[in-house]
């Protein structure tokens, strides 16, 4: 049940002349394949359409896998030419990007995805490859790109600490050069430009909750600075292009987001906890567990991004869930949800303890968005409860583990 106490029938908003609503069952069918669906939970299984355009067959005796595809795609809206937009999504094969691509495709628009596949994967958008409305390019945003488009969603950048710290200089180049190149493209094509910034620009905040006019408390030379300061300079570039070159810009400051297609090894809190609980391993909390986070489900974020892109709001906008958990309490909730899922499937859960380890450098102590601006100018607020999202993500990972697709 969502926050209204009802099963969510649709996602999306009809705002600012852009209707982004789609049926939840159609959307779920793109990432919850039939083998990912719970056998005993009517809320997810009832009338979910099956997509059979992509199959994989695993031979355990030879450790080989074969793929079969046919040219059959999910149904999309038929738009007239003047309503159909040509939309570029950088980083569109990543976690957030792939869900945005799904929504834009179902809405009937032409979508171009560019990704260098450092953290993204072709499998997240494979169900669209070959569709006449879809293009996928292997391209690094640090290099210029010359195409035509009406809107640019600039998502390209590693977002989890292990990934953005793996090559800090590359992360900085992606934030600066990638944003510079995409803003140059927006200037030339007169496309509207949206950049996904981050709550990390607030650093370890001294103001709580964090409004958009808070300037932050960031360590500019710490191990997280390549991402934090990279996003801060990307925002600076964005508003410089707005003032100097009259580019239409939108800035979304995203708070912790989770959902299916998150890399289970990306080192973030939700994926770590769910995977450890599913595998019967002790759940690792860094620090004393009293630091707080707020978590939003992926569908709420996509609603907010599309609403912001098509609104007239050019100031930064926080997009996050105002429900605040201590990390220790959140670990307890995840353990409880995983246990419930296993019990409904007739499985016993191995004893799982919560263990505490030293906290990483510069890890923020409190994080919760002030969503006042989003509520006022976008009429947006999260609909999905954290518990709903954790259960769906548990189902997703559980079946991937059972199929041997992840370890």
pLDDT tens profile 227-268: 999 999 999 999 999 999 999 999 999 999 999 999 888 888
261 vs 32, residue with greater confidence? 261
C-alpha 357, offset from chain centre: 27
Asked if 227 is an active-site residue, the reply is yes
Residue 154: its pLDDT value, please? 98
pLDDT at 120 over 60: yes
Residue 48: its pLDDT value, please? 43
Nearby residues of 96 by Cβ (< 8 Å), 6 or more positions away: 155, 159, 196, 254, 257, 298, 301, 302
Q: How far apart are CA 377 and CA 317, in angstroms?
A: 9
Q: Can you give the three-state secondary structure of the chain, one letter per residue?
A: CCCCCCCCCEECCEECCEECCEEHHHHHCCCCCHHHCCCCCHHHHCCCCCCCCEEEEEECCCCEEEEEECCCCCCCCCCCCCCCCEEEEECCCCHHHHHHHHHHHHCCCEEEEEECCCCCCHHHCHHHCCCCCEEEEECCCCCCCCCCCCEEEECCCCCCHHHHHHCHHHHHHHHHHHHHHHHHHHHHHCCEEEEEEEHHHHECCCCCCECCCCCCECCCCCCCHHHHHHHHHHHHHHHHHHHHHCCCEEEEEECCEECCCCCCCCCCHHHHHHHHHHCCCCEEEECCCCCEEECEEHHHHHHHHHHHHHCCCCCEEEECCCCEEEHHHHHHHHHHHHHHHHHHCCCCCCCCCEEEECCCCCCCCCCCECCHHHHHHHCCCCCCCHHHHHHHHHHHHHHHHHCCCCC
Q: Average pLDDT in the 136-156 region?
A: 97
pLDDT at 133 over 50: yes
pLDDT at 71 over 90: no
Q: Average pLDDT in the 282-304 region?
A: 94
Residue 4: its pLDDT value, please? 72
C-alpha 305, offset from chain centre: 11
Residue 47 banded pLDDT, cuts 50, 70, 90:
very low
Of the segments 21-35, 61-75, 81-95, which one has the largest average pLDDT value? 81-95
* 149-170 per-position pLDDT tens digit: 999 999 999 888 888 888 999 9
Residue 35 banded pLDDT, cuts 50, 70, 90:
very low
Q: How many CB atoms lie within 10 A of CB 143?
A: 10
Q: Which of 89-93, 133-137, 199-203, 307-311 has the lowest mean pLDDT?
A: 199-203
Q: Which of 31, 227, 241, 396 is catalytic?
A: 227
Residue 45: its pLDDT value, please? 39
Residue 1 banded pLDDT, cuts 50, 70, 90:
low
25 vs 363, residue with greater confidence? 25
Q: Average pLDDT in the 167-192 region?
A: 96
Q: Average pLDDT in the 173-194 region?
A: 97
Q: How far apart are CA 261 and CA 95, in angstroms?
A: 5
Q: Average pLDDT in the 381-405 region?
A: 91
Residue 386 banded pLDDT, cuts 50, 70, 90:
very high
Residue 38: its pLDDT value, please? 45
pLDDT at 79 over 50: yes
Q: Average pLDDT in the 365-385 region?
A: 94
Share of the chain above pLDDT 70, in %: 93
Residue 42: its pLDDT value, please? 41
Residue 33 banded pLDDT, cuts 50, 70, 90:
low
Computed over every residue of the chain, the mean pLDDT equals 90
Token pair belonging to 57? 């067959």
């Amino acid at each position: 049940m969502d926050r209204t106490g009802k099963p969510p029938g649709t996602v999306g908003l009809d705002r600012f002349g852009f209707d982004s609503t789609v049926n939840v069952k159609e959307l779920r069918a793109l990432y919850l394949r039939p083998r990912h669906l719970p056998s005993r939970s009517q809320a997810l299984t009832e009338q979910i359409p099956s997509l059979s355009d992509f199959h994989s067959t695993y031979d355990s005796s030879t450790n080989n896998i074969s793929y079969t595809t046919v040219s059959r795609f999910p149904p999309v809206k038929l738009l007239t030419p003047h309503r159909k937009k040509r939309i570029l999504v950088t980083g569109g094969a990543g976690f957030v990007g792939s869900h945005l691509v799904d929504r834009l495709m179902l809405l009937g628009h032409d979508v171009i995805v560019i990704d260098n596949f450092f953290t993204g994967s072709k499998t997240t958008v494979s169900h669209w490859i070959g569709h006449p409305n879809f293009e996928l390019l292997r391209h690094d945003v640090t290099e210029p790109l010359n195409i035509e488009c009406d809107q640019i969603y600039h998502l390209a950048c590693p977002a989890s600490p292990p990934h953005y710290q793996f090559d800090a200089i590359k992360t900085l180049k992606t934030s600066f050069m990638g944003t510079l190149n995409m803003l140059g493209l927006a200037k030339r094509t007169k496309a509207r430009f949206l950049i996904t910034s981050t709550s990390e620009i607030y650093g370890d905040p001294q103001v709580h909750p964090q409004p958009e006019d808070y300037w932050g408390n960031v360590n500019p030379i710490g191990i997280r600075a390549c991402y934090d300061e990279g996003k801060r300079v990307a925002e600076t570039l964005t508003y410089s292009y707005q003032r100097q070159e009259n580019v239409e810009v939108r800035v979304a400051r995203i708070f912790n987001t989770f959902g299916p297609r998150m890399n289970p090894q990306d080192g973030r809190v939700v994926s770590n906890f769910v995977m450890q609980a599913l595998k019967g391993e002790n759940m690792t909390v860094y620090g004393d567990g009293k630091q707080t986070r707020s978590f939003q489900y992926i569908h709420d974020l996509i609603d907010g991004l599309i609403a912001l892109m098509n609104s007239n709001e050019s100031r930064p906008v926080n997009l996050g869930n105002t429900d605040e958990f201590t990390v220790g309490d959140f670990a307890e909730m995840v353990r409880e949800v995983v246990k419930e899922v296993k019990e409904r499937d007739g499985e016993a859960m191995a004893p799982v303890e919560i263990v505490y380890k030293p906290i990483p450098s510069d890890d923020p102590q409190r994080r919760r968005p002030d969503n006042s601006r989003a509520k006022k100018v976008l009429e947006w607020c999260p609909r999905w409860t954290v518990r709903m999202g954790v259960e769906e993500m548990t189902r997703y990972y559980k079946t991937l583990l059972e199929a041997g697709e992840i370890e």
